[in-house]
Amino acid sequence: MSKIYLDPGHGGTDPGAVGNGLQEKNVNLTIALKTRDILNRDYEGHSIRMSRTSDTTRSLAQRTNDANSWGADYFVSIHINAGGGTGYEDYIYNGSVSNNTVTYRDRVHAEIMRQVDFRNRGKKRANFHVLRESNMPAVLTENGFIDTVADANKLKSDAYLNRIALGHANGIAQALGLRRKSGGGSTYTVQSGDTLWSIAQAHNMTVQQLKDLNGLTDDTIYPGQVLIVSSVGAVYHTVQSGETLWGIAQQYNTTVSAIRSLNGLTGDIIRPGQRLRVR
C-alpha cells in the first residue's frame, strides 16, 4: 500500500501569492482535492493523507512532521508561482536525494506537461523546507503564474484545473506503480484532429453521453486528454442527510449536470437513502 501525502501550499492566514482576483492558497487546495479524487477514482493500492483539506493554517514544520510520522512514500506539494513569468516548473531538493526522488519527479513532470499547455519551464532544484525536511521522495510543483493574466485565466477555469490535477494524479500513479481499478470502464486518449463527435461515433455513443461521462460542459478537448468512453463499472453514491447535488459532484470530481443526466433528474431535489449513479 503506497502512502501519498498531498500538500496544498499556504492556507488560512497565509494566502500565498495573490493576483488577478486569485489567492494561491485557494487554487492550491482545489488542485490537491481534485488530484486526491482522481487517484481514488481511477487507481487502487494506495492511501492519501493531506496537510489540509480546508482553508486552515499549517506551518511548514507541521506539514513535514505529519508526513514523516505517517510514513509517507511520496510528498507532493502543490503551488502557484508569481513574479511575472509564465508556465509550469517543479522542484526537488538541491542537496543529496535518492534515485527515486529524481525518477518520481520525472514521471510527474512528464504527465503534467502531457495534460497542460503551460510553457515548460523545466525541472529544477531548491532548498525548500518541504523538500529538505521530508524523509521520503518529495516534489514541489509550480502550476502557472498567478500574476500573469494568461496563466491566471487558465487557473480560473475549473476544466483547466481538472487537467492540472489529472497530470498530478497520473504522474503520482506512474511514479508509485499504482494499479488502475479493474472494471472502471474503458478510456480513450485524444489524438490530434479528434472531435467529440468522431470519438463518440467510434465508440457507439452520443456526444452528450461522452460529455456526461467526463463531466464536460463544452466541446473543448485536447491531444493527450484521457476520456472515459464506457460506463462499465458504474459508480454509485447513497445520499446522506444534509447532502446536496453540488457537494456530491465535488466529491466525485464530476458536475451536477452530469449526475442529473445519469439519473434522469430534472431538478436538484434528492433525499437521504437515494442511490445515485455518479460515474
What are the backbone angles phi and psi of residue 40, rounded to the nearest 5°?
A: -70, -30
Handedness of CA 265, 199, 222, 39 (dihedral sign): positive
Interatomic CA distance for residues 102 and 93, integer angstroms? 10
Say what angle helices 256-263 and 207-214 make with each other, to 10 degrees: 120
Q: Is 267 exposed, middle or buried, given 0-12, 13-18 or 19+ CB atoms closer than 10 A?
A: exposed
- The H or E element containing residue 124 is strand 120-126
Q: Tell which residue, 207, 105, 118, has the closest CA to residue 163.
A: 118
Interatomic CA distance for residues 165 and 177, integer angstroms? 18
**DSSP-based three-state secondary structure for 11:** strand
Question: Active-site residues: which are they?
Answer: 142
The CA distances from residue 214 to 3, 41, 154, in Å, are 27, 12, 19
Interatomic CA distance for residues 186 and 248, integer angstroms? 23
One-letter amino acid for residue 75 of the chain: F
